[in-house]
Amino acid sequence: MPPQPTLPFRDPALSFVTRVDDLIGRLSLAEKVSQMLNECPAIPRLDIPAYNYWSEGLHGVVGNGRATVFPQAIGLAAAWDTGLMRRVGTAISDEGRAKYQAALERQGYTIQLQGLTFWAPNINIFRDPRWGRGQETYGEDPYLTGELGVAFVRGMQGDDPKYLKTAACAKHFAVHSGPEGQRHSFDARVSLRDLNDTYLPAFKRLVQGAQVEAVMGAYNRVNGEPASASPFLLKATLREKWGFQGHVVSDCWALTDIHVGHKVAQDAVEAAAMALNAGCDISCGVTYDKLEEAIQRGLVNEAQIDLALHRTLLTRFKLGVFDPPEMVPYTSIPPSVICSPKHRRLAREAARKSIVLLKNRAKILPIHPDVKRISILGPNAASIEALLGNYNGYNESLTTLMEGIIGRAPEGVRVGYRMGVPLSQAALNTLDWTTRDAAASDLTIACMGYSSLLESEEGDAILSEYKGDRADIALPPTQVDFVKKLVYAGARVVLVLCGGSPIALGDLEDMVEAVVFVWYPGEAGGKALADVLFGDVSPSGKLPLTFPRATAQLPPFDDYRMEGRTYRYSRLEPLYPFGFGLSYTRFEFSGLKLASGKLSVGEPLSFRLTVKNLGGMDADEVLQVYLSDLEASAPVPQHKLVGFRRVHIKAGKRRAIRFILPPEALTFVDENGDQKIEPGQFRLTVGSCSPGRRGEELGAPRPVEALFEVE
């Protein structure tokens, strides 16, 4: 029998667009519709295997066997390190590729969580500390979020000119940030100014700066339109204004919300038509199986299905799934990369850089060599959940905080461990053997805070009364009482906090000797914490969000206006400000000099300064650049982050640093949502924390400032 001719869609010599068009032309309507949901069945007559678009990789490959577990996204953000973020994205995509190839070779197809389309990163703005999913984000600032997101996407998607290593997805578009219990029905009412000043810039940055392959629509409505079926968001903004070329996927079962939760459609058929007409290409879970009926009703036509399918199939072609493996450079990534020594070292580096030292009275840290007895206490000391956060992978080498400290403590130092208090429930036994031990120790390391059992997505936080959100941002009362009891007994407490969101400490902040925030630090969390506590490295993490003093400082949770929120708009003194984090050494900023004190509209801002390490320890510092528009004709942020850089400076040495800020850094957003730049006076501030007295009161280096004018 003569060899069969190669079908055009199988011909690598043709363009991807030509091949996609050929494949679509060979599909029946039923086959087309079958490929419009995340779970696509095989098409045997064309030898197309099953494929599921639903895979996750927020801080490691999720739910697919062994994987390197990096710090939760909010912890990665606390490192303020775009180079690190890109390396983390590269490691995750390497492991994702290796796992995909292994599954394909084993069974000939892949199922959910085994594919190459990863629904990460989450670049929603963490506008309210009560939101349980805020831990998945990069914090409260749109600029920091955009820069870290671009770096992550570039690591995930690779740098081959033809093929994608994996396809990243920016989610959840848009204005998605709690409350979790209302997300299936809530209408986020936002002004055009807040929308374009806060909620959309990171998405625009990933679309135009990283060519992110996919965007996920959110559950909620935005100004009346369901986000996953919003003509304003998906057509007018994403595709027409920003030029997005990839595909749009709904959040899972979000299209059901169109008629069940939001009640803006009569039934699933009408909801499917609304979403398709608005530009949603894939439905996760349900609803697009009704598209044939939508055609019969005249609500959509087959050409619209072809257009959506063209976008999603184009992603699969760019991933090389229809090409011989030897033509796709990423198919040769071996399984040995999974949890490799290199990736484990990277996880430890990331965890170290994410740890934020918030208080260090009398320099109790690093732990002094004369310390003879250490007590480790608290519900998170031996907790695996406290390492992982949510949307996590797992492996056999997770190091708890207790294990890390014990593994690092020198022989001859007595180290003991007891939980002492549950995570959120009161102890039932009135006997307490922990207080006496803590009081007799030179140092008590109290590992407190939260875990994904208390804060997370709506179905995961099984100890939460609020579907993963928090009604109060303080520590659980049982933990507060326990720490107070330790202090009253005479214990010198180093408070180590796990969590994915701000924690208000009340009078505990004055009572403990030190406060160390470790987030959900991933597989190497215990080792990284020990590295910092024992002084093997200096802490260098910075807060990617403001820690309020109390829940009472927050506007109503369901109010999406930015007034009174985040460091950009709140005028209340925080517990710990945005960008804050202490070191074991001291840095000095000096010599700020602008290239010019007067700029023309559209001209970049160039300046330089010097940073000196005044202490006796080599360390990293994060330079943060803020601008304040002092004469804007519309409401603007008090100050906004426009640049940052992590630098390593040896003890006693100094470094000259130069920045060039693009003209866009000087813009503001008016009431119509348009970016503008006006003549007037500006203030430039460079330091290691957001501007304000609180940072200096807590020990941050004094920033340097300069005024300049735009003519």
Active-site annotation, residues: 251, 455
Angle at 457 between CA 244 and CA 233, to 5 degrees: 25
CA–chain centroid gap for 307, Å, is 31
CB 285 within 8 A of CB 253: yes
Beta strand residue intervals within 574-703, DSSP E: 587-594, 598-599, 605-613, 619-629, 640-649, 654-661, 668-669, 675-676, 680-687
Query: Residue holding tokens 């996609």?
Result: 20
- Within 200-320, residue ranges assigned H as helices are 201-210, 254-259, 268-278, 291-296, 302-318
CB 493 within 8 A of CB 446: yes
Three-state secondary structure call for residue 612? strand
H or E element at residue 406: helix 401-408
Query: Residue holding tokens 């494949």?
Result: 23
How far apart CA 434 and CA 436 sit, in angstroms, is: 6
Q: First vs last Cα of the chain: how many Å apart?
A: 79
Buried b (16+ CB within 10 A) or exposed e, 447-474: bbbbbbbbbbbbebbebbebbbbbeebe
Q: Which two tokens stand for residue 460?
A: 């995961």
**Residue whose C-alpha is closest to residue 511's, from 639, 286, 359:** 359
How far apart CA 414 and CA 680 sit, in angstroms, is: 63
Q: Which two tokens stand for residue 143?
A: 């600029």
How far apart CA 210 and CA 202 sit, in angstroms, is: 11
CB 241 within 8 A of CB 206: no
Q: Give the amino acid at 224.
A: G
**Residue whose C-alpha is closest to residue 499's, from 80, 178, 131:** 131
Query: Residue holding tokens 């068009």?
Result: 21
The reply to whether omega before 502 is within 30° of 0 (cis) is no
CA–chain centroid gap for 651, Å, is 32
**Quick one: CA torsion of 159, 161, 162, 163, rounded to 10 degrees?**
0
Three-state secondary structure call for residue 188? strand
Q: What is the DSSP annotation of 412-453?
A: TSEEEEE--S-SSSPPS-----HHHHHHHSSEEEEEEE--TT
How far apart CA 53 and CA 504 sit, in angstroms, is: 39
Q: What is the largest CA-CA distance in the chain?
A: 89
How far apart CA 392 and CA 396 sit, in angstroms, is: 14
DSSP 231: I
- Within 57-141, residue ranges assigned H as helices are 73-78, 82-107
